[in-house]
Amino acid sequence: MKKEANNIIAKNRAAYHEYFINEIYEAGIALSGTEVKSIRAGKVNLKDSFAYIKNNEVFVSGMHISPYEQGNIYNKDPLRLRKLLLNKREIRRLKEATQKEGFTLIPVDLHFERAFVKVSLGVAKGKKLYDKRDDSAKKDAQRNIERSLKANR
């Protein structure tokens, strides 16, 4: 499936810095009307969010959706638990993947697919400090190569 850059609402950049992402699943998310309006305005933060499985249901915690300005009494708590919508087979696969040592579920990005808000959920394993240093060294080397190629043109 191909995603266009204009339908991505929010990215969790820290996820790629802190974790190795093995697999990515796409899930719907149960939201209220004012939350959707706030998301359309771009007032969402995925930085400290994570997902977990409880009673064969997947929930995302720590996703901050700012209250909608005109929402008054219909606004929900910005940090409330939100249920992710996946079928049983996907939930079973995620449960098996997270039972392996060191694996967790991390929301990678939030995007629109048609009129629906979707979450890309990554099965991730935490990086060590030396892994982070290695990744940044590779990025620097690649950037230098691209710079030198551009200068030689």
Total structural domains within the chain: 1
Q: H/E element holding 19?
A: strand 19-29
- Residue range 21-42: mean pLDDT, rounded: 88
What pTM, to 2 d.p., does this model score?
Answer: 0.77
- For 44, other C-beta atoms within 10 Å of its C-beta total 19
Instruction: Answer whether residue 137 is part of any domain.
Output: no
Q: Residue range 10-30: average pLDDT?
A: 88
Half-sphere exposure of 15 (CA within 13 A, CB side): 27
**Percent over 90 (pLDDT), the chain:** 27
* Residue 136 domain flag: no
Q: What is the pLDDT of residues 55-99, one digit of tens each?
A: 999 999 988 888 887 777 777 777 888 899 999 999 999 998 888
Residue 106's domain comprises 7-127
Q: Which two tokens mark 142?
A: 């690649």
